C-alpha cells in the first residue's frame, strides 16, 4: 500500500541521501521495508536559527501495517491519494479561437485548447524570444526603449524576464499541469515538491520557446509583432473577428484576451466598445535592494552560508488600518532590479533572477496599497492613468532617461538628498533623485512608516547599504474585465477575459491556470464534457 508521511523534519542536506532511513527511523522497521520513497513537498523551517531544517512530506510503498493519523512529534500518516487524472474529451465541434498574448495565460490556454483538439491562433504584439532579448539588452545597456519589445511585451509575456517564482496559493488541480509542463520543457523536477518553486529567467526563457514550438507542432499558429487593435462584434455583441494593426481581420468565435496588465491601448479599445469592466485596487511603491548576505544573516543566523540553504527571502507587512498597508512584493533573492518600462516617457522597475540566484543582491517591491478612491476619478481606466502619471514623474526624476530615480533608504527616511548611492544591480543606471517627486504622498508616508518596522524584523533593512529605486507601479492590473460563470465577458459573448491583465490572476502560475480554465470553458461551450476534478 502507498502512504504519505507529513511533517518529517530533515537536516540540511539530508534530503539528498537515502530517504528510507529517516522513514524507518520515524515509523519503525528497516529502510528496506520502504520502497519507492519520493519527496512530495519540502519547505524550509527557519524558526530556530541555530537549527534550520527542512520539513518534508514523503510518499512510499510498504507492506507494514501503519496506523493512519497523527503520531508524536507532529508527524502524520495518511493513505496516498490516487492520482487525479486531468482528463479531456474533445468537443463535437472545434471553434475558431484567437488568443491574444503569449504570456503564461495565453500560452497555457493554447496548450490546453490543443489537448481538446482545438487549434488556436496566438497573437503576440512583441517579437519572438531572440529579437526580444536583443531589444531588452539595448534598454538595459544603452537606455533605449522599444515600446513593443521589452520586459512586458514579447514572447513569453511579463513572466519571461522575471524571478520565475512559480508559487501560488490557488489550490487548483491545473497547478500540477503547469509545473509538470515546465519540467517537461527543461525545469528542474524539484519544482514539483518545493513549497516555493523557482525556475529563474534563464530557465523560463528556454521553456517559453520550447512550449511554443510544441504548441506549433500540434497545430497552433503563433504570430509575433501582431497587435490586436480592434474587435468586430455583430449586432448582438457577439465576437466575429480580431483586427490586427495591419488591418487584417481574423474571423473567430472565441477571442481570449490575455494581454497582461500593461496593454493600455488594448484596454482603451475595449472600453470604447463598452466591454464590461470595473476599477481594481493595486499597489505602488519602489524596489528596495540590499546585499544578499545581509538578508541571509538576518534570516538564517549562524546557518547563513550553509551550502544546502537557498539565498534567503522574506515577506513583510505593515498594516496602518483603514485599508492602508505597506508590504514587500515579489521578493527576488539573488536577483537584480530591472528596467521594465513599456511606454515612452515612463520609468517602471521590477525584479528578476537566474535559476542560481547568485547575483549577491536581494530585492523586493516595497509597495503600498492603492485603493480605487485614490485614483481621483470614476473613469473605469483611472487606475491605469494614475499609474502612467507616476511612471512619467519617475522618468522626469531620472533626468528624462530610462535610468531609475534612486535614493538611499536612510536619506529617504530623513528627507535629505542622497549624495552617493548604495551599490545596486540596476541597469542601465540609477540616478540620485528626490523620490518624493515621483511617489504619491500617501505612498511615501506608508513606506516611511513601514521601513523602521521592517528594520526590526530584518536586521539592516533600513541600513546604509539599502537603496530604493522607483517606480514599482505594475504590481497588478488596475482594472478587472467582468466575466460570467462560463468565462465569457458579461457584456460580449465570445470574449474571454483571461490572466493578470483581465484581473483574474497575480503571478505566472495563477495566470497559466487561468488560461487553462478559459480553454476548458471554451471547449465546454463547444460541447466538451465538463471536467470534474
Give the shortest CB-107-to-ligand FAD separation in angstroms. Answer: 7
Residue among 15 and 146 whose Cβ is closer to ligand FAD = 146
Distance CA 110, CA 98 (A): 9
Contacts (CB under 6 A) with ligand FAD, residues 206-235: 227-228
Distance CA 308, CA 16 (A): 10
- The single residue among 42, 112, 165, 212 that binds ligand FAD, judged by CB under 6 A, is 165
Considering only 71-79, 96-104, 230-238, 386-394, which stretch makes contact with ligand FAD by CB under 6 A?
Answer: 96-104
Give the shortest CB-505-to-ligand FAD separation in angstroms. Answer: 6
End-to-end CA distance of the chain: 23
**Binding residues for ligand FAD, total number by CB under 6 A:** 43
Give the shortest CB-90-to-ligand FAD separation in angstroms. Answer: 25
Distance CA 169, CA 509 (A): 10
Residue among 227 and 297 whose Cβ is closer to ligand FAD = 227
- The single residue among 34, 60, 161, 461 that binds ligand FAD, judged by CB under 6 A, is 161
Long-range contacts from 445-449, C-beta under 8 angstroms, 24+ separation = 446/318, 446/320, 446/324, 446/325, 446/326, 446/368, 447/285, 447/286, 447/326, 447/366, 447/368, 447/412, 448/412, 448/413, 449/318, 449/320, 449/326
Query: Is position 357 an interface residue for ligand FAD (rule: CB under 6 A)?
Result: no
Give the shortest CB-112-to-ligand FAD separation in angstroms. Answer: 13
Take residue 13 and report the three cell numbers written for it: 542536506
Which residues, including other chains, have CB under 8 Å from residue 432's CB and lie 6 or more apart?
A: 406, 407, 417, 418, 419, 420, 421
Take residue 173 and report the three cell numbers written for it: 488541480
E-strand spans in 411-482?
430-432, 467-472, 479-481
Residue 19 per-residue DSSP state: T
Give the shortest CB-109-to-ligand FAD separation in angstroms. Answer: 9
Give the shortest CB-371-to-ligand FAD separation in angstroms. Answer: 21
Residue among 91 and 260 whose Cβ is closer to ligand FAD = 260
Query: Is position 146 an interface residue for ligand FAD (rule: CB under 6 A)?
Result: no
Contacts (CB under 6 A) with ligand FAD, residues 494-513: 499-501, 505, 507-509, 511
Distance CA 243, CA 64 (A): 64
Which residues, including other chains, have CB under 8 Å from residue 531's CB and lie 6 or more apart?
A: 86, 87, 88, 520
Residue among 57 and 262 whose Cβ is closer to ligand FAD = 262
Distance CA 244, CA 266 (A): 11
Pairing of strands 35-45, 53-61: antiparallel
Give the shortest CB-400-to-ligand FAD separation in angstroms. Answer: 23
- The single residue among 22, 95, 120, 126 that binds ligand FAD, judged by CB under 6 A, is 126
Distance CA 126, CA 66 (A): 56
Query: Is position 285 an interface residue for ligand FAD (rule: CB under 6 A)?
Result: no
Tally of residues, the chain: 533
Query: Is position 125 an interface residue for ligand FAD (rule: CB under 6 A)?
Result: yes
411-438 per-residue burial string, b: 16 or more CB within 10 A, e: under 16? bbbeeeebeebbebbbbbbbbbbbbeeb
Query: Is position 422 an interface residue for ligand FAD (rule: CB under 6 A)?
Result: no
Query: Is position 105 an interface residue for ligand FAD (rule: CB under 6 A)?
Result: yes
Contacts (CB under 6 A) with ligand FAD, residues 295-354: 330, 338, 340, 350-352
Considering only 21-29, 77-85, 257-265, 455-463, which stretch makes contact with ligand FAD by CB under 6 A?
Answer: 257-265
Give the shortest CB-154-to-ligand FAD separation in angstroms. Answer: 6
- The single residue among 6, 57, 62, 162 that binds ligand FAD, judged by CB under 6 A, is 162
Query: Is position 95 an interface residue for ligand FAD (rule: CB under 6 A)?
Result: no
Considering only 11-19, 46-54, 149-157, 367-375, which stretch makes contact with ligand FAD by CB under 6 A?
Answer: 149-157
Query: By C-alpha distance, which of 339, 331, 316 is closest to 406?
Result: 339
Query: Is position 164 an interface residue for ligand FAD (rule: CB under 6 A)?
Result: yes
Distance of CA 256 to the CA centre of its chain: 20
- The single residue among 95, 104, 383, 503 that binds ligand FAD, judged by CB under 6 A, is 104
Give the shortest CB-123-to-ligand FAD separation in angstroms. Answer: 4
Query: Is position 483 an interface residue for ligand FAD (rule: CB under 6 A)?
Result: no
Residues near ligand FAD (CB under 6 A) are 100-106, 123-126, 151, 153-154, 157-159, 161-165, 227-228, 258-260, 263, 266, 330, 338, 340, 350-352, 499-501, 505, 507-509, 511
Amino acid at each position: 500500500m502507498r502512504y504519505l508521511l507529513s511533517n518529517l523534519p530533515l537536516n540540511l542536506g539530508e534530503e539528498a541521501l537515502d530517504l528510507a532511513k529517516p522513514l524507518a527511523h520515524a515509523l519503525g522497521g528497516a529502510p528496506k521495508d520502504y520502497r519507492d520513497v519520493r519527496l512530495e513537498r519540502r519547505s524550509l523551517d527557519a524558526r530556530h536559527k541555530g537549527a534550520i531544517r527542512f520539513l518534508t512530506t514523503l510518499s512510499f510503498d510498504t507492506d507494514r501495517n501503519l496506523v493512519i493519523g497523527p503520531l508524536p512529534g507532529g508527524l502524520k500518516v495518511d493513505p496516498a491519494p490516487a492520482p487525479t487524472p486531468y482528463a479531456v474529451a474533445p468537443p463535437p465541434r472545434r471553434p475558431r479561437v484567437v488568443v491574444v498574448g503569449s504570456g503564461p495565460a495565453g500560452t497555457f490556454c493554447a496548450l490546453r485548447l490543443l489537448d481538446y483538439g482545438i487549434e488556436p491562433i496566438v497573437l503576440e504584439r512583441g517579437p519572438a524570444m531572440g529579437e526580444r532579448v536583443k531589444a531588452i539588452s539595448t534598454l538595459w545597456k544603452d537606455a533605449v526603449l522599444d515600446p513593443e519589445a521589452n520586459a512586458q511585451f514579447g514572447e513569453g509575456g511579463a513572466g519571461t524576464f522575471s524571478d520565475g517564482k512559480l508559487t501560488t496559493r490557488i489550490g487548483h488541480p491545473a497547478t500540477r499541469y503547469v509545473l509538470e509542463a515546465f519540467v517537461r520543457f527543461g525545469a528542474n523536477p524539484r519544482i514539483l515538491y518545493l513549497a516555493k518553486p523557482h525556475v529563474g529567467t534563464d530557465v523560463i526563457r528556454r521553456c517559453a520557446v520550447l512550449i511554443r514550438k510544441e504548441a506549433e507542432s500540434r497545430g497552433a499558429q503563433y504570430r509575433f509583432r501582431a497587435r490586436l487593435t480592434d474587435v468586430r462584434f455583430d449586432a448582438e455583441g457577439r465576437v466575429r473577428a480580431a483586427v490586427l494593426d495591419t488591418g487584417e481581420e481574423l474571423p473567430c468565435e472565441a477571442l481570449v484576451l490575455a494581454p497582461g496588465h500593461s496593454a493600455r491601448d488594448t484596454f482603451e479599445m475595449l472600453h470604447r466598445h463598452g466591454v464590461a469592466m470595473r476599477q481594481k485596487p493595486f499597489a505602488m511603491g519602489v524596489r528596495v535592494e540590499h546585499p544578499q548576505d545581509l538578508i541571509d544573516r538576518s534570516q538564517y543566523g549562524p546557518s547563513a552560508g550553509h551550502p544546502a540553504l537557498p539565498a534567503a527571502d522574506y515577506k513583510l507587512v505593515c498594516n496602518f488600518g483603514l485599508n492602508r498597508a505597506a508590504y514587500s512584493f515579489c521578493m527576488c533573492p539573488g536577483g537584480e532590479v530591472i528596467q521594465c518600462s513599456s511606454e515612452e516617457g515612463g520609468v517602471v522597475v521590477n525584479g528578476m533572477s537566474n535559476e542560481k540566484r547568485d547575483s549577491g543582491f536581494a530585492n523586493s517591491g516595497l509597495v503600498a496599497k492603492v485603493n480605487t478612491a485614490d485614483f481621483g476619478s470614476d473613469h473605469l481606466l483611472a487606475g491605469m492613468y494614475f499609474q502612467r502619471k507616476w511612471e512619467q514623474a519617475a522618468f522626469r526624476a531620472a533626468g528624462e532617461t530610462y535610468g531609475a530615480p534612486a535614493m538611499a533608504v536612510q536619506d529617504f527616511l530623513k528627507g535629505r538628498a542622497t549624495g552617493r548611492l548604495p551599490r545596486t544591480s540596476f541597469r542601465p543606471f540609477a540616478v540620485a533623485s528626490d523620490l518624493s517627486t515621483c511617489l504619491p504622498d500617501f505612498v511615501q508616508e506608508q513606506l516611511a512608516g513601514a521601513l523602521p518596522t521592517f528594520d526590526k524584523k530584518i536586521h539592516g533593512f533600513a541600513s546604509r547599504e539599502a537603496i530604493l529605486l522607483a517606480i514599482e507601479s505594475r504590481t497588478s492590473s488596475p482594472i478587472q474585465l467582468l466575466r460570467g460563470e462560463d468565462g465569457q465577458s458579461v457584456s460580449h459573448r465570445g470574449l474571454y477575459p483571461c490572466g493578470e491583465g483581465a484581473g483574474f490572476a497575480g503571478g505566472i502560475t495563477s495566470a497559466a491556470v487561468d488560461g487553462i480554465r478559459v480553454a476548458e470553458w471554451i471547449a465546454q461551450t463547444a460541447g466538451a464534457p465538463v471536467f470534474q476534478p
